[in-house]
Each structure stands twice: as C-alpha cells, then as structure tokens.
Chains A and B, each alone.
Chain A
Amino acid sequence: KAGVTQTPRYLIKTRGQQVTLSCSPISGHRSVSWYQQTPGQGLQFLFEYFSETQRNKGNFPGRFSGRQFSNSRSEMNVSTLELGDSALYLCASSQTPNTEAFFGQGTRLTVV
C-alpha cells in the first residue's frame, strides 16, 4: 500500500510569488492535516480536512489556505510568499480524525 505522497519534494520561489503544494493520502484515508516545520518553531499545525471540509485551522495568516477534493487528495496554497515561509511542509493522513496519522516526506519550500 502506497504511503502519503507529497509533490513536489523541493521548491524555490521568490518573495511575493504564490505556491501550491499537493498531498495524496494513503488509499482509504479521508482525513488530511498539514504542518509547517521550521528549526525555530518546530512542527506547527496548519489545517485539517475531513471529507472535503476544513475542520480546524492553526494560527497562520490568511495567506495560507487549503482544500480537499472528493478523492481525499489535498492541496495547500501560500500567496504573497515571505522569506519566513521557508520551511518543510508536511502532510499527514489518517482514516478518520484522532486515529493513527502517517506523514509524507514533505515539501521543502525555500523563499528567496
């Protein structure tokens, strides 16, 4: 069974640009969550989706948004990129909320 797949693995963007990251959960998993990981702040929750509905959102500005499709795949978008958005963005999937969550390898975003 394939794991959580995140694309792309690496991205370099310029300040002010926008970016879209993709996450394909494990087959059969309907819950997808996104996290940002930086050396200074550690792992911080961005959003959680279940059955195409955003159930919870972390303390991030409105430039960060996401969505989930009917096949449970999810995307997150960051607009007007800032240098501080440079991070590893991780997606986790689980069958339902509050069950075992499995992470993808992440997308390493560098903003220059």
Chain B
Amino acid sequence: GESVGLHLPTLSVQEGDNSIINCAYSNSASDYFIWYKQESGKGPQFIIDIRSNMDKRQGQRVTVLLNKTVKHLSLQIAATQPGDSAVYFCAENMIGYSTLTFGKGTMLLVSP
C-alpha cells in the first residue's frame, strides 16, 4: 500500500492493550479538535471530535482528552485490535473556518 508518512513516531502495542496517542497543538485560538485515522491507500477517516468547551469526550472504544492549559490532546483506544493499526492524526481549527491544521501523525501498530 502507499505510505502516508515516513519517520513517524510509532506506538507498538499488543492486541487487547489500551493505547494512548498524544498530540500537541499549536494555536491557542483553536476551538475545535478532531482525531482522524488513516489506513494505507485511504483518505483520513473521522474518529472523534471535541470542542474547546469540553475536556473529555467518549465514543465507542475511544476517548479524547483536551488540556487547553498546555495545548495537549490525547486519544485513548480501549482494547486495541489489529484493525486499529493505522496512522492517527490530530487536527485543529478555529470557529468559522473549515481549515484544518494537522499534526505530523503517529503510527499505531497492533500485534495479535
């Protein structure tokens, strides 16, 4: 498949473990944050989002935490599965703009 990035930080976990992927964002004026998953040869797939008036949001097996004080975002994946193997990107934007600023990405490798 096509590579979506070289020299990415990599997180290797065993199937069933919980995974935590971190992201530092750059703009203190950003108020909307999204996590995307990108598999080889595909476009980014929306996972979960959070607005700046929240510090935690949960989805199915995923939780996003937002710490505005230190401009930090994390994605927690519970009971990680081999199908979760992909590159994960955080993205930020400001009210009224669809322009997303993406982080460099983290490659998650899940071993059976």
Contacts and interface: CB of A to CB of B under 8 A. Distances in A.
Main secondary structure of the interface of B (DSSP, over half): loop
Contacts of A79: none
B43 A106 contact: yes
Interface string A8-44: 0000000000000000000000010101010110111
Interface in A86-112: 88, 90, 92, 94, 97-106, 108
B95 to A, nearest CB: 6
A99 B4 CA distance: 25
Interface residues of B, number: 30
B100 A45 contact: yes
B97 A55 contact: yes
A33 B89 contact: no
A90 B43 contact: yes
B2 A108 contact: yes
A103 B45 contact: yes
A31 B44 contact: no
In the A-B complex, the 7 residue pairs with the smallest Cβ-Cβ separation, listed nearest first, are A103-B43, A43-B102, A97-B98, A39-B6, A103-B44, A105-B43, A48-B98
16 contacts: A31-B98, A39-B4, A42-B105, A43-B44, A43-B91, A44-B102, A45-B99, A50-B98, A55-B98, A88-B2, A97-B98, A98-B95, A98-B98, A100-B34, A103-B36, A104-B43
